Structure 1
């Protein structure tokens, strides 16, 4: 979404590159385990005295200055006597991460070390969370284009992508097969009507950012309608978060992966319809899956989203947004459709 940024902090610096030049910097800056081994998802059990273990999971969200927001909860089980859902603070130290805080009416303490998390109630009658770090992946990451699809950004590991389908040569190519946001938005040279789009994106690690100032970009259909790209990991989804049709439709669940993970959009878009005289007769609709989770199905779009062109057209380009954040894209392809309903 196009808004003025209040501030921007980027942990890694990218050297100046000539247009369309292969970035030569180390790709370690894109490895989540090397950048921040604590951030991300954890799975395990909640252990309570005299009770059977209950499945549990956690999200660890970096918030800058070696501090973290740690959200832990038990998974839905029909006969659980009590289902704790806690939010505490993590502080990174030389020995690991120390956990502490008051939540759900109890005082909690614990640590994360070597990929294992333990969080317990500071009482001999309390329970304990025992979890381990996991790396989740989108089930559609690396999805191959079907026969007849138009490859807009080919993906091959170890090879810089061909960016010739795009009109902005200032965007950077990386040897991991990705294209990184440069100066200014980037449009496809082709235009599309009814279409199926597969797109993969990677949010940068920006722990000091908040809200729209954290890994912001977006993909516009027909240069008008934006499914949001943003670091919304661990948040209660709102109309401006990742997976939203910006300020039109809120995601029913948060399907985001942590920053530096490759995430996927799989989207079907039906263009607006027009009469023989050229008058608009039907609004466009869109079906959106984020990381394999369906968030919107045939969502009608009655107006352009913020930052999009006004008016309705039969065909238009895709636009990837520059919002001042080094978001990366890869494996983008489009399949032209003729949707009858």
Structure 2
């Protein structure tokens, strides 16, 4: 009887069901090495090209809606700056996109508190799939002398890959992401034809070089292309931590 029991355990251990059940903690998909080297970024250039769609003009949120109810976005706009209002939840663009070039600038408050993932946490969802709260997340976080798992620091594709380098500026200084996004393509039967890819410059420094994503972001468990989708909005996250809210400015996009 003992021999049959051992065989049964081995069979179960090799099954997909057993693998999913065993991987049930956020820490299972967190990397701590290698640690990206630190580099000092150059001067920012935020002028939008002539063919860009201006997603935030410094005056209003006409291009955005609340994810909660699809009503008007309720984050704070003041003096050309958009600041997260955590009480109203995430916001996303009214328009949907496939392939694009995106520029966005963000600022961690100079008086930021907390540590690790509780220090200015937000996220730029490069495509918000509308399937639950899934999307493809480029992490936004204060990673200037702030230790956390490396595939969760600023410039990472959250829980999938670390940035090539740490190009963070100090809290209180404006930072920029320039993104080239290639959306995934699905076959008629819903299976994956080509995976999503992304290139990211963080403060003008390359941190993601045509990285192939494994699927939409998952907080627990491994990413996968479980469901097909088409064009998607771009989402900004109002993270649930209690640190001071971050701000954005100069958001524009060019469809490719």
TM-score by length of 2: 0.70
Judge conservation of contact 1:195–1:334 (CA < 8 Å) in 2.
Answer: yes
Q: How do residues 233-244 of structure 1 correspond to structure 2 at under 5 angstroms?
A: 233-235=144-146, 238-244=150-156
Report Cα offsets for 1:146-168 as digits up to 9, x if no partner: 2221110014xxxxx22100103
- Which of the numbers 44, 64, 67 marks the counterpart of 1:140? 44
Whether 1:163 and 2:66 are equivalent positions in the alignment is no
After superposition, the Cα gap between the structure-2 partners of 1:195 and 1:216, relative to the gap in structure 1 and judged at 3 Å, is same
CA distance in 2, matches of 1:312, 1:173: 35
Matched with 2:93 is 188
Aligned to 2:169: 257
Corresponding residue for 2:237? 321
Conserved 8 A contact 1:202-1:329: yes
Which structure dedicates a bigger proportion of its chain to strand? 1
> For residue 23 of structure 1, what is the aligned residue in structure 2?
none
Aligned to 1:94: none
**Counterpart residue number, 1:130:** none
- Match of residue 272, structure 1, among 174, 184, 196: 184
Residue in 2 aligned with 1:311? 227
Which structure carries more relative contact order (alpha carbon 8 Å, separation 6+)?
A: 2
Question: How many residues are treated as equivalent by the alignment?
Answer: 197
Q: Which residue of 1 aligns with 2:255?
A: 336
Q: Deviations over 1:181-228 (max 9, x none)?
A: 112001100000001100000012345301011111110011111111
Q: Secondary structure at the match of 1:197?
A: strand
CA RMSD of aligned residues (A): 2.5
Change in 2 beyond 3 A, CA 1:310/1:189: farther
TM-score under structure 1 length normalisation: 0.54
**Which residues in structure 2 correspond to 1:1-341 (within 5 Å)?**
139-141=43-45, 143-155=46-58, 161-168=59-66, 169-175=73-79, 177-182=80-85, 183-223=88-128, 224-235=135-146, 238-275=150-187, 279-306=191-218, 311-324=227-240, 325-337=244-256
The match for 2:6 is none
Inter-partner Cα distance in structure 2 for 1:292 and 1:205:
21
Deviations 1:234-255 (A, max 9, x none): 2467110001110111012210
Inter-partner Cα distance in structure 1 for 2:251 and 2:90:
16
Unaligned runs of 5+ in 1: 1-74, 76-135, 156-160
1:314: how far off? 2.7
1:273/1:232 Cα in 2 relative to 1: closer, same or farther (>3 Å)?
same
SS in 2 for 1:221: strand
Q: Cα distance, 1:330 vs. partner?
A: 0.5
Larger Rg over CA atoms: 1
- Answer yes or no: is the 8 Å Cα contact 1:138–1:263 preserved in 2: no
